[in-house]
Every structure is written in structure tokens, then in C-alpha cells.
A and B are shown apart, each in its own frame.
Chain A
Amino acid sequence: MSARERVVGTVAGYVDDRTGAAKWMKKNLNKVFPDHWSFLLGEIALYSFIILLLSGTFLTFWFVPSQHEVIYNGSYQPLSGLSMSEAYQSTLHISFDVRGGLLMRQIHHWAALLFMVAIVVHLLRVYFTGAFRKPREFNWIIGVGLLTLGIVEGFLGYSLPDDLLSGTGIRIAEAIIQALPVVGSYISYFAFGGAFPGDAFIPRIYTVHVLLLPGIFLALITVHLMLVWYQKHTQYPGPGRTEKNVVGYPLLPVYMAKAGGFFFIVFGVIAFLSAVASINPIWLYGPYTPGQISAGSQPDWYMGWLDGLVRMSPPLETHAFGHTISWNILIPGLIVPGIMFTGLALYPFIESWISGDKREHHILDRPRNVPNRTALGAMALTFTIVGLLNGGNDIISTTFHLTINQMMWFSRIGILVLPPIAFVITKRLCLSLQRADRDLVLHGRETGTLVRMPSGEFVEVHEPISPEKAWVLTQHEQPKPLELSDTDARGVKRPGAIKNKLRNRMSRANAVAVPKVSAQDLKEIEHH
């Protein structure tokens, strides 16, 4: 035993004597993690979060969360002599006078953008592969919570510098609060400590941004990861992979080296972006004042779809009995997003209710094999993308020489028409891909080699695919429609008859598929 091994042994023994950790560690150091590029998406979100904590802590050392008005006479000459809040002044100070301050600000902002991208793409991966199914519904809900909080946290973060752009964003948020029926103006006055903009809002959202929400994030992320650990990771279908096992690399050393290394890669890429690509140059916007605005005001991308929905809303307001209800704000700003996020959170339960499938699933679906889910996802995505496009309608119009009216009408009609079209096309595509899989298994791969038969006919030589590939293409199960009867054994209508009818119908739609290759099919093809 070398000296080093003795030291390691002593330290491990010391810790174990006091915690009994050895038993747990022994089991978990060899924990198996499946390898796939798409499993890195959640990791990117996690690492971005750590980078946000590090860079954010740095920024708090200089940032002054105050709306107290001061006259600027710092080193950025163009704003010299202007009246501005201490928040804006200290952000200028970080950007121009603290060495590496601008770099850290840009790292913080780029990491926030990447955090949200990673969360959304990770969510899409989990959705389209069915990784949210039993037993992972809790983790899905936590994930939806993290997405929602991420949007709020990002908005609060870019609102802190109190520049002309972010102040305009707060103004819009205030209008949404004010639009709430009955309590709106009260909540707005409480939140802002009086009239907009007041001098209380930035100190308040600062506490929420640097303490309250990060605390909730830490708790939720911890539970999210513990559940992944405890439930073991899902895996893609493949030879040797079953619902009963998990195939991959052990935590120590391979997974640890790869995951740890990947943290540095993510950090490095964000640092590089922040070195070469300017983001949120607040000194160009100037300090906030409610009487001014810059053209082309745009929120960060994850707010863009909401802004786009607000922009395309028809001018609806109800005036009755001395009161005003702003549907043009409430519908796109609260009701539609509320329905979308609730639907998202409940989706695992809705799907299992329709399919009647209450079993555990650890092998991921290939999206084509679940056409309805895939098509529904494409539909929701199309809806959001039309919203996002309309959120940039002014920029798109000037870039492509369109009128703002053309863009707006495209969005107003598109948001209703395009999602159903996306559903139908995606479902057809899935079924076509299923058919292609079936052909591949039955007839093999096209080799591109043409052979002339003695009869003069040309045929292309097909080559059978490998047993591994054939297994991947046929391992999935094809659900059968539910057949819940609407009468009981005596022929009397059940109380839940309408519900059963609805479930039957939806599960029938769910079960539409190109039959996968069966033993019978293979036998028939042998006779040819």
C-alpha cells in the first residue's frame, strides 16, 4: 500500500466512522448513467445555473439596488451630467470601471439566455421521448415549475439595471398587474410602493432576484436531481436495453470526468460568447424615464412569445357598471399562458388517462411511434413560435421590408390556423416514418446497386439490416384503443358514460399506427 493510498484510506475511514457513508457511497460510486447527447441538455441548464450563481454573486459586490436619483459623472462621457438612478449608475460603473466587470455582466446575461434555451430544449426532449411517463411525473411538474420561475427570474434580472429598455418592460408588467379585475390597482400600488415607477420596486425585486427565487431554484433543482438519481435515468431503445436494466457508464470515473469536464466546456463557451458578443449594452439605451422610449423595444427571447401574443391581441375592453376589464391584456398576458402552463404540467396525467397505461416506463419512445403526442407537441411549438415571431414583428418588418400590419395579420390568423396544420402534418409524417421503418425491416436497406435480370428487368439489390437495427425499429409496443363500455353488465347506462365515450375516442386516435412487422409478416416474406 502506497503512502497516498494509506491517506485516502484514513480520510475515508474517518468520515465513515462519523457518517456511515461507506455503504451508500460504495453502491453509488458505480451508479450507471446511460450516454446520449440529448441527456446533456439538462446538464447545460444545471451548469448555466451554477455559472449564474457565481457571476451573479460577483455583480452584487458593486450593484446598488436603488432608484435614488443621482447625477452621473463617471467615466462614460456620453451620459455625463444626466440624472439617473443609482441602480443604473452602478451598472455603468461595473461595465466601465470594474476590471472584468463588463465580462461578468455579459457572462451573467448570456448564461441566463442559455439557461432558458437549455431548459426549453430539455423539456422538448423529455416530452417528445415520453420520459415524463410513470414514475417520473413529479419530476416533470418540478421541471415545469423551474421553467416558469426561470422566465420570472430572467425578467426580474434584466429589469434591475433600470435602463430605458428594462424600465419599459417593468411599465408593461405594471400594466398587466393593473389590468387584474378588482384588485389590480391595489396590487400595483403595493408592489411599487405607490405610483409607477416610484422608488421601491428595484430594491424589492433585487431581494426576490438574488435571494428568494435562487433559494427556491436550489431546492427544486436538488429534488429534481435526487429523483433522477433515485429513479435511475431513462434510456433509448437498443440491443440489450430493457425496462428492467440501465446500460451505460459508471459514475466513477467516466461519467464524473465527462460531466465535470462538460461544466468547464459550458462555462468556457459562455465566457467566449461574452468576450466577443455584446449583450444588453445598457449604456446605449440611457437611464429610464417614463416619458421616453427607444424604437425596436424587445424583451429577452423567453418573454418574446408572451409579448407577441399581447401585440397581436384584438383591441377588446369591456366598460360596464363603472368598471373596465382589459381583455386585450388579460387574455394574452395571463389567461392563455395560464392555460398553456397548466396543460403542460398536467400532460403526463392526461396522456395516461387517455391511454389507460399505468405501468412504469424507462425505455424512451421514438417520437414517430407516438404520433398523437408528437403532433400535439408540434402544435404547441407552432403556437409559441408564431407568438415569438410576432414578438419581433417590428424587427422582422424592417429587416424584410414588410409592413407591421402584414406581420400582425399573419400572426393573428397564423396563431389560429397554423397549429392545427402542424398537428396534421406531423401526425402524417410520423405515420410515414413508421411505414418507412416497416419497409426497412421487411425489405432491408436500398444498396444503390442495380442488377439487370435475364428478363431485361432492372431491380435494385436490397440488403438486410443488422439484427440490432431491426430490434430498435420493432421493440416498441403499439397501443390498442380502450374499449370502455358505457353500460354496465345489466345494460344500464353508467354515470360516466360520456367520459368513457370521450376516452374511447381519444385513445382510438392515439392508437392509429402503421402495424409494425409481425412474425406473420416475416414468414410471408420468406415465401417470396
Chain B
Amino acid sequence: MSNELEAISDPGLPAHVHRKADHDPIAEKKAERQVAILFLLSAAGTILFIYSYIWISQDLFIYLPVLGTTNAKQLFLGVGLAASLFFIGAGAIHWAKTLMPDEEVIAMRHEMRSDDADRAALVKSAKEGAAAAGLGRRSLIKRTMGLSLGLIGLSPLLLLRDLGPLPAKQLDVTSWDKGTRLVTDPGNRPIKPSDLEVGAVAQVLPQLRAGEERTLNNIGKDAVLLIRLRPEEFQLTPEKLAMTHEGIIAFSKICSHMGCAIALYEQQTKHLLCPCHQSTFDVPRGAKVIFGPAARPLPQLGISVDSEGYLVAQNPFSEPVGPSFWERNTK
């Protein structure tokens, strides 16, 4: 691996070539002026920035080619700031390149390692220090110290316990219950089957009981999609078919993969598509996964109508909605 057979030898650092400004006073003056102009451009940028900040109205929109209609204040503030910064940099670099010495210099490197004597001395003093403390002899101290240091990490870990409650069974349940009315989102109006045409899709939430307030936590579990097909289009088991009502089928809108809202319904193919990771669910077959990373169909909510003809839930969801978790116990 050595260089003894090297065919071509290092010719060494090439001779330095001087720049025009190094020996020509006219070129030197010119470079100086160029640097000064760059610095002046920066000053002009700052003035533009100040002008835009104080005098351009927040509501002024102007049309520019390429950019289109754009807010003048935002644009000129930005352009002013950009110019004030950029030209300082350009000036400094132009100065360095044309007027500062450009002769490359050589510095020597030294190997990182300390010399052997220093290394030996370090080992020696470390050993001496350890011996003076009696680390080798006092095994009782060593062990108890190990124990205390090992345990001390538990305190900060335990302190994090109150960050939140235990999940208990909360991930398994939603606000849907037997007989809960379906209400529109937004609007909170109860709906009748006749409100949905065949092919229509609607987002619903459970009706609030008196005094209840809807939080985002609720929506994150309760959001449901209603889709109306012709009853003969379903290819469902009798139990699942019994959960539909006059061709209306209800699924959890929270993706069974990672919990995104499933908002894309393709009327032609009757597919639901999650815009996050493109899991595709086939509605007539009970939201069976036909493509993408989701491993489970969307949970189906059984629906029927109450005495006043409004859509209600037959029962709570029979399985947890949303993404999987360790304690989840249904397929």
C-alpha cells in the first residue's frame, strides 16, 4: 500500500498567478468601486424595506408576470430585506476575491494521537486517582454507588407519569349508543333516509345529549360516513346486511390504518379512498380493503330509524374505531 512504485510524482503547489488588481492600480480602483456599489445596493434594500413597512398598505395587491396577483407589502418587504442581506454578502465576497490576498498558504497537520509518554502518563494518573479513591478495594461502596446511580434514573421517569391518564378502555369505545340519532356535520340536524339520494354520501356525528359539548376528541372517534346505494348492490353477510337501512350503510370515517379522515368517495366504483396513504375500501363489500396499507375494513355502524323516522344507531360500534393498538382484541 506504500507509494514506492508511484509512477507520477507530486509536482508541488503550482506557482501563484497574480490577479489584475494586484498590480494594476486602475483595476484595483475599479474593484474597490464595485464593492462599494454592492454595499450601496444593500443600503437601498434597507430603505425599500423601511418604505414598505411604513407606507405600503396591507391591502394593496398588484399584478406581476410569473408571480400573478400578489400582496405588495409582503413582496416589497421581502425583496427589500433580501437585497439588504444579499448585497452585503456579495460585497464582502467580491472584496475578498478581488482585493484581499489570494495566495494559498500551507499549514502542517499533526497526527491526532498524543505521544506515547502522554498517553502512558494519563493512564497512570487515572489509575492512581482510582486507587486513591479506593475504587478497587471498597467493593461495598462501589456496589451501593452502582445501585443508587441505577435507581436515580427512575425518579425523572416516574415524574412523567402524570403527563396523561391511563388509556383504560377508552380506545375501545365511542359516543355511539343504541338509539343515538345521527346528525349532520356541520349543522347538527337529525336526518331521515329520504334526505339521502342513491349515490349520495354524508358525514354524520352522534346527537348530543342535553348539556353535552362536542370536543375534537369526540369527533376523532365518532365521525361516521353515510353512503346510500341501491339495496341490491350490497354483497354482505346477512348480519352486516341487517346493519344497513334502505340501502344506507354507515362506516367509521376514521381510517383503520392511521386514523386519517377518509374523505374521498368515488361514486362510479363505490370505493372509499384515504388521502393519507391511499388505502382503498370497497363499499358494497362492507368497506373491505382492496388496496393500500390498511389491514382491516372500516368498522360498520348498524343503523335503523326511530319512531319519528330519523336515522339512529342500532347499537354501539362492535369493535374499536381508528388505528390498531396492542390491546385491540378483535379481528
Closest to B107 in A: A32
Residues of B within 8 A of A168 (CB): 260-261, 276
Chain B positions within 8 Å of A324 at CB level: 324-329
Contact of B327 among A185, A193, A261, A475 (CB under 8 A): A185
A171 adjacent to B295 (CB under 8 Å): no
Q: A185-B327, A264-B92, A275-B82 are in contact. Are A244 and B295 (CB under 8 A)?
A: no
- Categorize the interface residue count of chain A: 35 or more
Binds A, one of B129-137, B215-223, B233-241: B215-223
- Whether the Cβ atoms of B109 and A261 lie closer than 8 Å is no
Query: How far is B165's CA from A374's CA once the two chains are assembled, in angstroms?
Result: 50
Complex Cα spacing A475 to B262, Å: 60
Rounded to whole Å, the gap between the CB of A93 and the closest CB of chain B is: 13
Taking CB atoms and an 8 Å cut-off, the chain A residues in 380-394 that contact chain B are 393-394
Q: Of the candidates A243, A265, A290, which one forms a contact with B216 in the assembled complex, judged by CB atoms under 8 Å apart? A: A290
Determine if A250 and B89 form an interchain contact, defined as CB atoms under 8 angstroms apart.
no
Q: How far does the alpha carbon of A310 sit from the alpha carbon of B104 in the complex, in Å?
A: 51
* Any A CB within 8 A of the CB of B3: yes
Nearest opposing residue in chain B for A136, CB measure: B112
* B100 in contact (CB, < 8 A): yes
User: Interface stretch among A7-15, A95-103, A208-216?
Assistant: A95-103
Chain A, Cβ-Cβ closest to B171: A185
Residue of B nearest to A250 (CB): B105
B260 and A297 within 8 A (CB) = yes
- What residues on B are CB-neighbors of A307 within 8 Å? 277
Q: Are A268 and B82 in contact (CB under 8 A)?
A: yes
Q: Which of A175-183, A338-346, A483-491, A495-503 contacts B (4 or more CB under 8 A)?
A: A175-183
| A245 pairs with B329, CB closer than 8 A | no
Say yes or no: A195 contacts B8, CB within 8 Å.
Answer: no
Partner of A103 from the list B10, B78, B216 (CB cut-off 8 Å) is B78
Evaluate contact between B223 and A200: CB separation under 8 angstroms. Answer: no
Which of A194, A250, A292, A315 interacts with B164 by CB under 8 Å? A194
- Which of B84, B109, B258, B289 has the most chain A CB atoms closer than 10 A to its own CB? B258
Q: Which of B17-25, B69-77, B116-124, B189-197 contacts A (4 or more CB under 8 A)?
A: B69-77
Q: Are B219 and A290 in contact (CB under 8 A)?
A: yes
Query: Beta-carbon contacts of B307-331 to A below 8 Å, as 1s and 0s?
Result: 0000000000000001111111101
Among the interface residues B14, B100, B295, which one has the most CB atoms of the partner chain A within 10 A?
Answer: B295
> Is A31 part of the binding interface, using a Cβ–Cβ cutoff of 8 Å?
yes
Asked if A328 meets B160 with Cβ closer than 8 Å, knowing A185-B326, A257-B100, A319-B331, the reply is: no
From residue B173, how far is it (CB to closest CB) to chain A in Å? 10
Please measure, in the bound complex, the distance between the C-alpha atom of A404 and the C-alpha atom of B263, giving whole angstroms. 16
With the chains together, A517 CA to B185 CA distance in Å? Answer: 76
How many A-B residue pairs have C-beta atoms within 8 angstroms? Tell me. 334
Given contacts A178-B323, A246-B107, A297-B260, contact A441 B219 (CB under 8 A): no
Q: Is B246 an interface residue (CB 8 A)?
A: no
Which residue of B has the minimal Cβ distance to A171? B259
CB A208 to nearest CB in B, in angstroms, measures 13
A243 in complex: contacting residue of B109, B253, B278, CB < 8 Å: B109
Known: A247-B106, A360-B112. A265 touches B86 (CB 8 A): yes
A328-B109 contact in complex given A262-B93, A268-B86, A310-B277, C-beta closer than 8 Å: no
Q: Are A474 and B325 in contact (CB under 8 A)?
A: no
When A261-B88, A264-B85, A268-B85 are in contact, do A408 and B259 touch as well, CB less than 8 Å? no
Question: In the assembly, what is the distance between CA of A522 and CA of B9, in Å?
Answer: 13
Residues 467-483 of A contacting B (Cβ, < 8 Å): 467-468, 470-471, 474-475, 477, 479-480
**Interface contact A404-B9, CB-CB below 8 Å:** no
Residues in chain A near residue B270, CB distance under 8 A:
none
Given A185-B171, A272-B86, 8 new contacts (CB under 8 A): A175-B258, A192-B164, A246-B108, A261-B95, A268-B84, A291-B185, A295-B275, A517-B8
In the complex, chain A residues whose CB is within 8 Å of the CB of B108: 244-246
Task: Please tell me if the beta carbons of A315 and B217 are within 8 angstroms of each other in the complex.
Answer: no
CB contacts under 8 Å to B, within A343-366, are 360, 362
Which of B6, B112, B254 meets A231, CB within 8 Å?
Answer: B112
**B window 236-259: CB within 8 A of A:** 253-254, 257-259
- B214–chain A nearest beta-carbon distance, Å: 10
A185 touches B167 (CB 8 A): yes
Does A174 count as interface, using CB distance less than 8 angstroms?
A: yes
Question: Is B58 engaged at the interface, CB distance under 8 Å to the other chain?
Answer: yes
Nearest Cβ on chain A to B152's Cβ, whole angstroms: 21
In the complex, B11 has a CB within 8 A of chain A: yes
Min CB–CB distance A496 → chain B (angstroms): 23
Given contacts A185-B326, A405-B291, contact A261 B93 (CB under 8 A): yes
A32 and B106 within 8 A (CB) = yes
What chain A residues lie within 8 Å of B165 (beta carbons)? 189, 193-194
Q: Quick check: A290 and B13 within 8 Å, CB to CB? A: no
Pick the residue among B12, B86, B105, B166 that contacts A239 (CB under 8 A).
B12
- CA separation between A156 and B8, bound complex, in Å? 55
Interface positions, chain A 150-191, Cβ under 8 Å from B, are 168, 171-172, 174-176, 178-186, 188-191
Do B291 and A232 have beta carbons less than 8 Å apart?
A: no
**Interface flag for A420 (CB, 8 Å):** no
* List of B residues within 8 angstroms of A471 by Cβ: 8-11
User: Is there contact, CB below 8 Å, between B163 and A193?
Assistant: yes
A206 at the interface (CB under 8 A from B): no
Taking a contact as CB atoms under 8 Å apart, the answer to whether A258 and B92 are in contact is: yes
Q: Are B1 and A480 in contact, with the CB atoms below 8 A? A: yes
